[in-house]
Amino acid sequence: MSHFLAKVISTMVALLVAAYLVPGITVTGIWAGFFAAVVLGFVNGFIRPIFTILTIPFTILTFGLFLLVINAIMLALTSVLVPGFAVSGFFSALIASIIVSFVSSILHSMFEE
């Protein structure tokens, strides 16, 4: 349970950092960020693998860069499902997905030690 909570908190902080840095990302509060982190975890766990398998040819042709597009789509899908979390535009979602991946991986590695 503590591993799950650490992962959710690191993702929440990463979403808040992305909202601070990227103009098209909006998080209205801590609870919206928390629920967005939980929903993003479920979306990445259940829907992202399906998208990844279906887009293997694009991923191979782009040498894996299409995975960034899939991450942006998952972030946009999360914004549809969570009130208080909004993504306006694909470019904002793309930049935010890079920031969220980077910040959450750093924070999660700090929580593991």
| CA proximity to 40, closest of 16, 56, 22 | 16
Name the residue ranges covered by the structural domains of the chain. Answer: 18-103
Calculated CA dihedral for residues 100, 101, 107, 113, nearest 10 degrees: 160
Contact between 43 and 74 (Cβ < 8 Å): yes
DSSP 64: T
pLDDT in tens, the chain (113 residues): 688 888 999 999 999 999 999 999 999 999 999 999 999 999 999 999 999 999 999 999 999 999 999 999 999 999 999 999 999 999 999 999 999 999 999 998 887 76
Instruction: Round to whole Å and give the CA distance between 20 and 48.
Output: 25
pTM attached to this predicted model: 0.91
